[in-house]
Amino acid sequence: MFSFIVPTLNEESHIGEVLSGLNPQLKKGDEIIVVDAQSKDRTAQIATKYGAKVVLQPKSGVGLARTVGAKNAKNDILVFLDADCNLSQDFAARLRKHFSRPEIVAVGGLDLYHSDSNVKGWVYNTYSVSVFHSAKITHKLTGKYWVPANNCAIRKNVFMSVGGYRSVICEDTDLMKRLPPNRDIVYDKKLVLTLSDRRFKQDGFVKTVALWGWSNISAFVNGGVDVMKGYTKE
């Protein structure tokens, strides 16, 4: 059984779409937890309409919101999603197949991006595919595993063994640093979800990727870039 965790802040234009795509894929015992940072719009009401459990949390960063969702989850397997994603129709089925093997600890999928520009879409997706394969190669060589925080599933006991995600940019890299190596990880390129390109539109693709790159380095060097304060944590 799965606990699907979605952090939100003013997502009324997106949350219905992801939940309507997820609901037909649920099995008995599954749950959806929306961790809402006290949105000013109808996010919480829409989530409740689709049967999600809504947990209200003061704005403290998406990483901590995911961890709050994990703490409220009743199931052993946590599935982390973003509010602006569209899931492939076999998304949950693929996860169930992987976790039918009791030794599997975590599964990472492939993020793709929707864009009004074919050229920009190609750039975004080429970048995303390269990140996926880089993570897969790193895992093969070292046993350390990075799975994207908006498209992954992980066993709750493993996730919480290091306290879950923290309030840092690139919380998934920070988690990788703190978790010990493990070979029982699956990278599934057919476990696809499609994200909006709003992050790239807001700050620009180059600037956004540069921030992610610096935050990844900082996660390993000195504790990560704090989401709320915007500085490197000691």
Q: What CATH number is attached to the domain comprising 93?
A: 3.90.550.10
Look at the chain and report how many structural domains it folds into: 1
Domain-embedded: residue 36? yes
- Name the token pair of 42: 């109808």
Of residues 229 and 192, which shows the higher confidence score?
192
Q: How confident is the model at residue 229 (pLDDT cuts 50, 70, 90)?
A: low
Domain-embedded: residue 42? yes
Domain enclosing residue 118, as ranges: 2-204
Q: How confident is the model at residue 234 (pLDDT cuts 50, 70, 90)?
A: very low
Q: Given this model, what pLDDT does residue 209 score?
A: 94
Map 115-168 to HEC letters.
Answer: CCCHHHHHHHHHHHHHHHHHHHHHHHHHCCCCCCCCEEEEEHHHHHCCCCCCCE
Domain-embedded: residue 210? no
Contact 114, 87 (CB under 8 A): no
Domain-embedded: residue 50? yes
**CA dist list (Å): 109 to 11, 42, 181:** 23, 29, 19
The model's pLDDT over 10-40, given as tens digits with 9 standing for 90+, comes to 999 999 999 999 999 999 999 999 999 999 9
For strands 85-87 and 2-8, give the pairing.
unpaired
The model's pLDDT over 36-52, given as tens digits with 9 standing for 90+, comes to 999 999 999 999 999 99
Domain-embedded: residue 214? no
Domain-embedded: residue 187? yes
Domain-embedded: residue 225? no
Q: Given this model, what pLDDT does residue 223 score?
A: 82
Single-letter amino acid code for the residue at 49: K
How large is the average pLDDT for residues 164-193?
96
Domain-embedded: residue 96? yes
